[in-house]
Structure 1
Amino acid sequence: MKTFITTCFITFFMFSISKTVGAQIVISTPSLGGFSQACASSSFNTYNITFSFSPEENLSSTNQFIIELSDETGSFSNATVVYTSAQGSIASSPATLSFSIPTDTSGESYKLRVKSTAPVATSTGSVAFPAYYKIQDTPFSINNLVDTGVYCSGGSYLLTIDNPGTGDNDSPLQYSSLTFNWFKETSPTTSVFVATGNTLSVSQPGTYFAETNYGSCTSNSFSNRVTVSESTTNGTSSISSSLGNPYCATQGSTTLSSINGLSYQWYKDGEEILGATNQMYMTNESGEFSVDVDLGDCMTSASISLDGIGFTSQIDVDLEDVNIIEDNQTLLATITTTASSPEFKWYLNDVLIATETGNSYEINESGNYKVEIAQTVGCVSTKEFQFIVRLAFPNVADIPNLISPNGDGINDTWVIPQAYVNGSNASVTILDSQGKIILKTNDYLNNWPENQIDFKNVNPVFYYVIITQDNKTKKGSITVVK
């Protein structure tokens, strides 16, 4: 009897062991949950996979499911665990799990597989998919944002990604895992691949730029364009301003950068700046800055009209020549500006027009005008425009020999034909009876006499000499009556 019981116990124990050892499951190939490529970043890095397993009852209560990510070639020999479930948390099939890719992920042929721990089982790998973690996904600069480059015939020009990343420049060189592709434009919307690397030596004219290598994932990690040209003698290039142009001089200096060269000389308003012999020059002034760059076998020069007021403005009147208003008409002067919370002040002959505070002013009289535009928020600064307005001269036929400056609005000034007034380049001279020159101008404005005449004589007589642009002379007298 004892032998029988012992035999039964051993038989039951061996059956239990055989059942435990023989418990297995099969895990299906995981399917990608709604994605064909993983283009992750700090703002998005969550992906799903779905898989089945069978039989469900063979799972141990301590089982964990693990998601492994292959390397960029699809090999699991050095796989990375991207998800581990809690013990016993997944007991029914199918199951959907979420995971995130590591920040150094970069390649076109990653795969995923699922493993279980109790019992031990492993699925086959998923379909291959591109995966990149875009650790840097903003535009960056090359060559200090100088948009041109020049090399001497037979030479080359070096394009470099700017580093380190400071201020608004998030340099991708801060991230050692990143690689870069260089391209040459073939049209405004197309380009061809040129090379990989942190720099590019250019020996062919064209427009070049760099992109961070995120493979088939779209990205905002790209550089500015640089147009490179070949020079056999002296060429021209450009200058960049680190704070833009215009910039706010009251908030600090801007750095001017030229193209790469062997030596440099900077100028301001045509005058050499002593000691300014580096590729970069820092300033907080406005003006015309230029630089000569020695490239070795040739030279190049560049210039920039630097404005330190921090905003732009335009006015729709002529600032170079006189603005003429025809009879019974007005001139509407209008300002357009990027100034923040702008304020406007208008002046006539340096006297403030207190009632005019808008960005436009309707003008109906002659004079020297000025408008000031003030930016009152941020970079507090002021810009001004000056211009001249004249009423159109009446088209009289003859030169008068009599005027009556008595203030009645009739014949108060000596008004002569348009062929001799402002804009005609005619020389007008008026002399008194003693031969003393009273007025001499090449821009007569039909405005003599501007001051009251002393009537020592009953009707004083003056004399005029008009010499036209083609050297024809007109002479005569002017009698002044009350």
Structure 2
Amino acid sequence: MKKTSSYNSILVIVFAFMLLGAHSLSAQVLEKPTTVWTAACASDSFNQYDVSFRWNPPLVDAGNEFILELSDSNGNFGSPRELTRVGDKNTDFNFDFRFTLPTDVRGESYKLRVRSTSPVKTSPATDSYPMHYIDYGSPLLISQDGSGTIPPGGAISVCGGGSVTLSPHNIPNANTYQYNWYRSGTLLSEKSESITVSTTGMYYVELDYGSVCSGSANTLSNTIEISAGSSVGIAINGPNDIGLCPGDAGTLTTNITGVGLTYTWFKDGAIVSGPTLEGSTYNINTGVSGFDGSYEVEVEGAAACLERSAAVTVRNLGEFEVTRQNEENIVLLPSQTKTLSVTTTATTPTYQWYKDGSPVSGATNSSLDITETGVYFARVTENGGGCSALPLDSANTTVVSPDSFEFVVAYAGAYTECQNTGATISLSTINAVSNSGAKTDVTADLQSSFTYQWVHDGNTIGGETSRTITVSNFEDNGDYRLDGVLNSFNVSSNDLNIRLSKNTSLEITSNGTILCEGADAIVFNSSENLADETFEWLKDGAIIDTSSETITADEIGVYQLIIRTNDCPIVSNEVTVRTFDESLLVLDSPEDIIIIEGETETVMATGAESYEWFDTNNTLLGTQDSYNFELEGEYLLVANFGNCTINRVITVTYRDTFSIPNVITANGDGINDLWVLPNTYSRDENVLVTIYDERGKEVFSQSNYENNWPQSTTSFNKQNMIFYYRVTRGGENLKQGTITVIR
């Protein structure tokens, strides 16, 4: 295959695709940004980084801006973050960006790239960088359960089978960080803010700011030594149920004393004393209310487990309770009798009922029948037991005779207008209203006494006669109220409006989401027939059309459709139209490939929706995301992104089999005048060719060597001269030797 003719064929194919609407590629080239730093460990005391950037002419548009973008922590640019932008470098082909690291950046594989706005171009991404904003840079303090109490000497003993949880206690929002936990110098797998351990060793922790930044953050904590201890069998002496009267002396004593243990006393799970060395007794203050409860003691010490005793219950013998058995508010209708009652824990109680603060004559039982309105309570006196106690009054009961009633209805459960597809309304409150307007909640007393009827927009609803109604159809939207009848009382509730959404899923679709010059227009369609609907097409939240059933997008933005025919609007999904970005297409190999004749090289493409591979005869070779190249020549890859297209020309060349020559005859006869390298080393931007004279002085150095030495300006002052060469890639020596130049 001839190189020239095949290349012209490829140009014809490319030109044909451009005529079909392919995205034209501008000539500007944005090079990969570079940095002198290899990691960004920012903080409030240092946060300033420079990035060097080069680009090649022709000039960009006058209004162009260069934008430095940051990937996510995995190196992906699906939603890049803008770090900084400049608009005054449109004639400067080599300049530096300066940026500050955002305070929420934490990760090991961030990348940078540069994007221009006019024309729209994107540079290759940099290699990965560890980047962390160190917002906490002080030594951590760890303690058991993060309590803040560091044990003496930093040592904790645990029993066989037991465990201890260690957590930092001096860092805000501890659960928002990742951690490096260590045991005796070995990094553990746990990454959360706490670790539960049972293995002996020296434990400490630091914040995980990655492979580079963790050390500079200075967050390494104190050390807690976990050692194996033995159980001492701690217990509280005496019975496990103790009764005391107010004012009595009450002392709790442990079964182990005088062995150097530290004691902590608990009441109902909360610390009431300690930790105290040799604090083996605890005096209960029975002179205060609430001294009764569940008491425990916890001990720890050298070679002793952290151990807690069984609980001891302490009761107040002079305390009893009185409980009202009827409702707090009661409605007394004409000629009606109600019964009030109380219960008590007193062992030998006597009762006296009161009405409006005065004793009721003869009312000395635990219950009372009433026929009058007022405020009632029962006073109970304990006449037995080992302690004297003051009488105790029950809670008040308010008895009213209403002038009228009030119903209050409310939504039952969560309800949001035009979001729910169903709603329930229920009677929440019945108030008895006096002639003065005072209201008393009598729901519990009377909710079963009324008869009910639901009303919708002024019309009674057949069969809806309970205290609750459920509406599940948007066609039943409207105002609802509840009517009720009790004897001569007729009651109507407040009105509640229900606006349910139509249970319809509205979806808009398009034939593409990426705008590019010369491509087919992006057209949006609705999943619902809009012929008889009132609707709005929106872009970025603003109405752009109210009459077209389909719309064409010619600008980037977020598109949406809203149908407003019914009470509640029906809102579609959002579709984002973006500007075409050539960097979406990624090849895992260079576009110039050198293969050994008879072998196969596979090229994988990613980022596009579909792919087509062509040879120079415009023959379709494949439609997968990869192709196996076996023959040399030029090939065309057409990558489709919806209605946008990228064309890439791939050149395949057989590897040269000749060796590096060590003699050339630079006499101008056109034969062996140039030092020609095999294509394994020539025309590769990653390979550097350097030539030295016999004194070791560098006379030629070129990446992407074009087989063009010696150049026409090279002078040779001898008939035969010796030169030395070195071929390197990334600093690694590939080949070296001598070149004899014969004139």
TM-score bracket relative to the smaller structure: 0.3 to 0.5
TM-score by length of 2: 0.29
Q: Which has the higher strand share?
A: 2
